[in-house]
Amino acid sequence: METKSNSQFLRGYLSTAIMAVALVVTAVIFAGAYKSKFNKQVTISVTGLAEKSFASDLIVWRGEYQRKSLDLKAAYALIKNDESNVRQYLKSNNIDNNEIVFSSISIEKEFDIKRNDEGKQISSIFAGYKLSQTVTVESRNIDRVEVVSREVTKLIESGIEISSLEPSYFYTRLSELKIDLLAKASADARKRAETIALNSGGALGKILKADMGVFQITAPNSNEDFSYGGAFNTSSKNKKASITIRINYSIK
């Protein structure tokens, strides 16, 4: 009987000990969850900005001219002669051959359409062929090409019906410019974050997340609208590039 009593006592003691350990473990788990809930990591999100003014280093100018004739061969001969005169004009202004590209000749048939009082077509008479061609100049000598685009009226005076389009201006080292601006925007973001953290009694921790904003190129002192996909001005020789970067930091 005594042996049985001792065995029952031992089993009861072990059960009590196991329950006590379970309660302690449960309390530790709940304490950890409570601490995690009310001690979440403090973060700060800032946006850095960088801007830079620069001048274009490449210009592209286009001119369009055309000829009309009832005879296709005659029209072709006229426009080929215009091509020769345009090339000579460009060479006389020190434009190199490797900077000049002539497009293929476009041929279009034209018709005189006659309509009645109700606007219905009653006849179509062949009026001849219209041949068109485009010349494109791409050069790093911006000043020289600007002169060419302005003084192209000399060709008009010689009988060539040429239309001068507005030059387009580009920058060939955009990759380098973008990297430089990203570095400056990141430094600007960190400076802002450090100022906020310091004045809040904390210290700046590590970067948790960084997102680059839109890269924009606009004309300086203009009211160009910023675009979600990124504005890219080509009408101004002088430009301004800007970029933003949004960074999340932890606060210690």
Check whether 12 has a pLDDT greater than 80.
no
Boundaries of every domain in the chain: 1-40, 43-55+172-251, 58-170
d(CA 146, CA 112): 39
Question: What tokens were used for 159?
Answer: 């009988």
Asked if the 58-170 domain carries CATH number 3.30.70.2970, the reply is: yes
CA Rg value for the chain:
38
State pTM to two decimals.
0.75
The residues that bridge with 232 in the sheet, in sequence order, are: 217
Name residue, tokens 């494109």: 136
The residues that bridge with 138 in the sheet, in sequence order, are: 60
Our CA angle for 18, 20, 24, nearest 5°, is 115
Q: What is the CATH number of domain 43-55+172-251?
A: 3.30.110.170
Check whether 230 has a pLDDT greater than 90.
no
Mean pLDDT score, 41-51: 90
pLDDT tier, 37 (very low <50, low <70, confident <90, very high otherwise): very low
